[in-house]
A and B are shown apart, each in its own frame.
Chain A
Amino acid sequence: MSKESTTIDVGESSNVTKSTSHVVVDEKKKKSFVAAASGGGYKRGLAIFDFLLRLAAIVTTITASSLMYTAEETLPFFTQFLQFQAGYDDFATFQFFVIAVAIVAGYLVLSLPFSIVTIIRPLAVAPRLILLISDTVVVTLTTAAAAAAAAIVYLAHNGNANTNWLPICQQFGDFCQAVSSAVVTASIAVVFFILLIVISAIALKRQ
């Protein structure tokens, strides 16, 4: 192996060359800072949208719960044997609906401070993660209440020939209407919750 040799002129003093190599690292740090600032911007926008969705969901759940709660009807005739009153407490499923949706409304009010924290500190991870986990639990609870009530409402509208379950909506028209509106409103709240979960997930993701 024959050796070659060459002469290299080191033109500048050594600390200047060192600083040029550090510029690579500094630029990377600057880029990450810029990314964090712009990420904070769009994450703050997402947090504000999250807050507004929560307010809308509070209104929706309170409406659903109170619609079901006040859905009573008394028919103007009576006999000694049959009942001609209908209310939410005649159905175990509707009782569950009222209580579950009321709990969800209470949770939403309690989660508003966390949402405000995510607006103020858009890059903080812990509040968003807490909101995501509890929103998942709440979406399950709301969907369960809405779907169970929807099954009973479907039965009340259509009955079931095979099991001899009569459609009671034919007698209790107002009650059925109020109850159906409550179920529809709760389903809208479920859509809001799904949006809230997706927003939290998008805001959580790394740059």
Chain B
Amino acid sequence: MKNESTIIDVPAESSSAMKGKAPLIGVARDHTTSGSGGYKRGLSIFDFLLRLAAIVAASVAAATMFTSDETLPFFTQFLQFQAGYDDLPTFQFFVIAMSMIAGYLVLSLPFSVVTIVRPLATAPRLLLLVLDTAALAFSTAAASSAAAISYLAHNGNQNTNWLPICQQFGDFCQKTSGSVVSSFVAVVFFAMLVVLSGVALKRH
């Protein structure tokens, strides 16, 4: 084996300066931005905005149902002519469920911000996906059970002699129906959030 030798001029500056400039072999991947990180960050921002919209939708639904009281201007000694959300257990469940959903969404905002800052991290996204799936099921349950009662209030049921109360309580019915529609909008947002998290989680 032939020995070769060469002469290298080392300037008198401290070696730590040279070390600082030396390139690393196998440079660590920059986890903040890269090609895929860029579009995942875009998905995270869209996720954050969807969450804000869903907070608005869920709290509007809860508030509208909560304040949907109506008292008819006439009365007798025997019959009740007031209608409120607490007259129907399903609507009570709806108000409580929608408030919990709005609270959950507010608490999930920091996790969403974390996914914006670190687009390639999978743990926050997976957590958000699992919790969003549960929240999707919960809000769909609240929305559709309230929708069933709303449908009954509007149409009644001849076979069971359940009278449609909307014919007397017009404002109450209007507010509860609007509230149900708003909660279905929140459900759509949740479905989009789940799909977003799934797309952002996928490998490349």
**Which residues of A are at the interface with B, using a C-beta cutoff of 8 A?**
1-13, 21, 24-25, 28, 83, 86, 90-93, 123, 125, 128-129, 132-133, 136-137, 139-140, 143-152, 154-156, 158, 160, 162-166, 168, 190, 194, 197-198, 200-202, 204-207
Contact = CB atoms under 8 A, between A and B. Distances in A.
B88 A162 contact: yes
A151 B157 CA distance: 14
B148 A168 contact: no
Contacts of A28: 26
A194 B190 CA distance: 14
Nearest to A93: B148
Interface string B161-187: 111010000000000000000000001
Contact of B26 (A11, A25, A148, A198): A25
Contact of A162 (B25, B80, B137, B198): B80
Contacts, number: 181
Interface of B: 1-13, 25-26, 80, 83, 87-90, 120, 122, 125-126, 129-130, 133-134, 136-137, 140-149, 151-153, 155, 157, 159-163, 165, 187, 191, 194-195, 197-199, 201-204
Contacts of B160: 90, 156, 165-166, 168
A9 B141 CA distance: 76
B12 A2 contact: yes
Contact of B151 (A90, A92, A144, A163): A92
Most buried by B among A4, A128, A201: A201
A9 B2 CA distance: 11
Contacts of B134: 194
A15 B26 CA distance: 19
Given A198-B133, A206-B203, 19 more contacts: A2-B12, A5-B7, A5-B10, A8-B7, A86-B159, A90-B157, A90-B159, A90-B160, A140-B136, A147-B140, A148-B147, A152-B148, A155-B90, A160-B87, A163-B88, A163-B153, A163-B163, A165-B162, A194-B137
A62 B202 CA distance: 32
Contacts of A201: 126, 129-130, 197-198, 201
B126 A4 contact: no
Contacts of B126: 201-202, 205
Contact of A7 (B7, B80, B145, B194): B7
A115 B118 CA distance: 31
Nearest to B94: A151
Nearest to A193: B137
Main SS of the interface on chain A?
Answer: helix
Contacts of A137: 191
A143 B144 contact: yes
A1 B13 contact: yes
Contacts of B149: 151, 155
Contacts of A198: 129-130, 133
26 contacts: A1-B11, A1-B12, A2-B12, A4-B11, A7-B5, A8-B8, A13-B2, A21-B25, A90-B159, A129-B199, A133-B198, A136-B191, A136-B194, A140-B191, A143-B144, A147-B140, A151-B148, A154-B90, A155-B149, A160-B87, A162-B88, A163-B162, A163-B165, A194-B134, A201-B130, A204-B202
B90 A204 contact: no
Given A12-B1, A190-B137, A197 B194 contact: yes
